[in-house]
Amino acid sequence: MNVPNELFYAKTHEWARKEGKKVYVGITDHAQHEITDIVHVELPEVGKKFSKSQPCAVVESVKSAFDIYSPVSGTVVEVNEELLSSPEIINQSPYEKGFFFVLEIENENELKELMSAEDYKKSL
């Protein structure tokens, strides 16, 4: 199972990658594997604010639908619209092309409350 070292992880299987004030958010390789083939995605609106652990997106596979929770608090500044027409990208590239959205983070300390790659691996 691929768990890149440089990312932060939530218990609910989202990852967060910091780039300056921006935080990229997606779901882990483990999550996409468990969800199985993703057939539909609902993304948040740009400009919408979310607090930590608030549901902000939905993924649907032939198995079921799952909420995606915001790993940190912030405002959505970009969403990955390509996922809407090609949700399989999440299965193929969960950490790169398959990111869900980008948040402008409110409080960087919240990243420290997330798990490291090592802790996330242990939790699986």
Partner 1 sequence: MNKLINEIRSNRNTDRVIKCDVPLDIEMDVRYKGQKSTNIPNLSENTLLRHFTNLSRRNYALSTTFYPLGSCTMKYNPVVNEKIAAFEEFSSVHPYQSEETVQGSLEIMYELEKSLCEVSGMDNFTLQPAAGAHGEYAGLLIIAGYFKSIKEKRTKIIVPDSAHGTNPASAALAGFEIISLKSDENGIVSPENLKAVLTKDVACMMMTVPNTLGVFEKNIAEISEILHQNGSLLYYDGANLNAVMGIVKPADIGFDVMHINLHKTFATPHGGGGPGAGPVGVKAFLKDFLPVPVIVKENNKFKISFGDKKKSIGKMKAFFGNFPVLLKACAYIKALGGAGLKEASEQAVLNANYVLSSLKDKVSIPAGSVCMHEFVLSSKGHLGDGVKTLDVAKKLLDYGYYAPTIYFPLIVEEAMMIEPTETESKQVLDEFTDVLLKIIEESVSNPEILHNAPVNTYVSRLNEVEAARKPKLHW
Binding site for partner 1 (CB under 8 A): 37, 39-40, 60, 62-64, 66-67, 87-88
Which is closer to partner 1, CB of 6 or CB of 37? 37
DSSP symbols for 59-103: EEESS-EEEEE-SS-EEEEEE-THHHH-THHHHH-TTTTT--EEE
Q: Kind of pairing, strands 8-9 and 101-105?
A: unpaired
Which is closer to partner 1, CB of 93 or CB of 116? 93
C-beta of 1: minimal distance to partner 1 in Å? 16
Task: Give the contacts of 65 (CB within 8 A, at least 6 positions apart).
Answer: 58, 59
C-beta of 43: minimal distance to partner 1 in Å? 17
| CA terminus-to-terminus distance, the chain | 10
Which is closer to partner 1, CB of 71 or CB of 87? 87
Which is closer to partner 1, CB of 18 or CB of 49? 49
C-beta of 105: minimal distance to partner 1 in Å? 24
Classify 35 as helix, strand or coil. helix
C-beta of 51: minimal distance to partner 1 in Å? 13
